Structures are given as structure tokens and as C-alpha cells.
Amino acid sequence: MKQLQVEHIPNDSQAGIAEDLVVNQEIALHRTYPKLKLDGKALYYEILYNGLAVGKVGFYSIIARTASMSYGLEKDAEGKGIATRAAGHLRDLGFEELGFNFINLSIGKTNERSQALARRLGAVLTLPSQNQTGLDKWTIKKGWNETA
């Protein structure tokens, strides 16, 4: 596993999106998709916990002001809030820096851990799968945390 020192955060001159993002003292994100273009492509970051790579989080199917998000962690890293903080940081980047209005997640109907994470991110179930083994569509809407 590689050790990453995240002191200076350089920006990609083409896209304006940081190569490395600091989530907190323990968690950083290192961009792994080398050439970002926001035209239906993807933006992926490796999740680093205390300098060790433990998972990935990213956007794909970026079209107009909507993107889909995916995330995953190694088993040893689960249960520490790492995915919640990393995906939450990326969610905020999507809304605040990239101008997304919606972020979609496709989650297995029986994947309770991922459903709970989606709820913590502010997602709501928008399109349930018609079969027991299918993927449910969850959506986070810009302004998800604003009160009326």
C-alpha cells in the first residue's frame, strides 16, 4: 500500500479539480482517473486511510448536472465511518464545485449497509427495483440538507 503525503493540493489545470483532497486528519482522496472531462466520463478517487489505500469513491455517467456515484471499501476498513466521510466529501464537491443538481446511486435491494450509507448521504429511494435481486435507484438532490 502506498503512503501519500497530502500537504499541497495541486489542481488539474485542465479541469480545475484537485488531484488530492483532504477529508480529515485520517482520510484523504487521491484522484485515480487521469484525464477528467465532465462530458459523460468519470471522476474516481482512491480512499486513503492513514496513508493506506482502502477503497474507491467516484462519479460516473456525468451528464449535464447529474452524476452517478459509486463507492467501495476493503472489508478491514468497514465500520469506521470512512466511506461515509469520503462519499460525503465527494457529494459536497459534486454539488458545490461541479454544479451537480442530482447524484444517483444504484444499490442492491438487499445491500443494507450501502442503503444506510446512502441515507446518511441524504439520498432517498426514488425508483425501487421490480425484482428482489435488482438494483434500487437512490437520489441525492442539491440542497438535500437545507431546511424549509
Using a CB cutoff of 8 Å and minimum separation of 24, what contacts does 6-11 make? 6/48
At residue 6, the pLDDT reads: 32
In a domain? residue 113: yes
In a domain? residue 43: yes
Q: How far apart are CA 145 and CA 130, in angstroms?
A: 29
At residue 3, the pLDDT reads: 37
Instruction: Please report which helix (H) or strand (E) contains residue 22, including its range.
Output: strand 20-22
* Three-class DSSP category at 129: coil
Q: Specify which residues 99 forms β-bridges with.
A: none
At residue 5, the pLDDT reads: 34
Question: Is the pTM of the predicted complex or chain greater than 0.85?
Answer: no
At residue 17, the pLDDT reads: 60
Contacts of residue 95, defined as CB under 8 A and 6 or more positions apart, other chains included, come to: 103, 142
Tell me phi and psi for residue 24, to 5 degrees: -160, -165
At residue 123, the pLDDT reads: 97
Q: How many domains does the chain have?
A: 1
Q: How far apart are CA 83 and CA 20, in angstroms?
A: 16
CATH number assigned to the domain comprising residue 104: 3.40.630.30
In a domain? residue 5: no
At residue 33, the pLDDT reads: 61
In a domain? residue 123: yes
In a domain? residue 126: yes
In a domain? residue 92: yes
In a domain? residue 49: yes
At residue 24, the pLDDT reads: 83
Structural domain span for residue 25:
20-141
Residue 12's closest CA among 41, 47, 43, 39? 43
Per-residue pLDDT of the chain (148 residues; tens, 9 = 90+): 333 333 323 334 334 566 777 888 888 888 776 444 455 578 888 999 998 999 999 998 888 889 999 999 999 999 999 999 999 999 999 999 889 999 999 999 999 999 999 999 999 999 988 887 789 999 999 988 875 5
7-40 per-position pLDDT tens digit: 323 334 334 566 777 888 888 888 776 444 455 5
In a domain? residue 85: yes
The CA dihedral of 69, 70, 76, 82, to the nearest 10 degrees, is 0
Contacts of residue 13, defined as CB under 8 A and 6 or more positions apart, other chains included, come to: none
